[in-house]
Amino acid sequence: MADLFTADELWVLSKKYPKEIALLPLPSLDEIVVEFLSRHDVFISPVSSKTGPGALTNAAMGAMGPGYLAANTHLTQQQKSAALQEWTSWKQWALSHKDFPDFKESVLQKYEQKKRDVDLFLTENYDSLQGVLKRYDEVQKKGEKQTFFAISILAVIVSLFALFGFLTANTKPDNNPSPQEKTEVYP
């Protein structure tokens, strides 16, 4: 993308112009393989290394006994191994397919074209985009001032309540008479 704007500025601009500036990250080989396979009616995704029994499942199986926990872990490992073998087979099939190199190249060309389109949009609209960023900064500064003012008012109110509480606690009349004021009680 054009080096005309920082990453933060591009984020702000992408909120205002989502279609023109949105650029997804470069797809990985696995993502390209998944898309290629889906075009051939094979709906599979790469196996994650985090595939395994969940904490809740482990807790439930552990409560039933260590044998159940071990069986659940073994079953999960078998499922993961089978899924990994299936993914590897389909990935090898896709990579060796005669149409895959052209498909991969077209995906990468589309990405590069989108990148050029975003750069062109940023370059052609530089002045108006700078205006958008200036207005955004003004709104942010105004919001910060309002937040500071609200926090200041709240701090003053809390301080006044604390002062009032302190003064009323120290000026209450004592219900116990002083030793000189004690009255005698006759039976």
pLDDT-based confidence at 168, cuts 50/70/90?
A: confident
The pLDDT of 126-151, averaged and rounded, is 80
For the record, the structure tokens of 5 come out as: 């704007």
Q: How far apart are CA 1 and CA 174, in angstroms?
A: 76
Most confident of 5-14, 34-43, 154-163, 177-186: 34-43
Q: Which residues, in sequence order, are CB contacts of 100 under 8 Å at separation 6+?
A: 36, 94
Q: How far apart are CA 43 and CA 177, in angstroms?
A: 88
Residue 39 has pLDDT above 60, yes or no: yes
The pLDDT of residue 178: 59
Q: How far apart are CA 130 and CA 124, in angstroms?
A: 12
Dihedral of CA atoms 15, 18, 23, 27 in degrees, nearest 10, equals 110
The pLDDT of residue 5: 83
Least confident of 2-6, 9-13, 127-131, 163-167: 2-6
C-beta of residue 5 within 8 angstroms of C-beta of residue 13: yes
The pLDDT of 63-78, averaged and rounded, is 72
**Each residue's pLDDT tens digit, 139-155:** 777 777 778 778 888 88
For the record, the structure tokens of 186 come out as: 């006759």
pLDDT-based confidence at 51, cuts 50/70/90?
A: low
The pLDDT of residue 61: 58
pLDDT-based confidence at 95, cuts 50/70/90?
A: very high
Residue 183 has pLDDT above 80, yes or no: no
The pLDDT of residue 79: 83
pLDDT-based confidence at 180, cuts 50/70/90?
A: low
Residue 114 has pLDDT above 80, yes or no: yes
- Contacts of range 177-183, beta carbons closer than 8 Å, 24 or more positions apart: none
The pLDDT of residue 86: 93
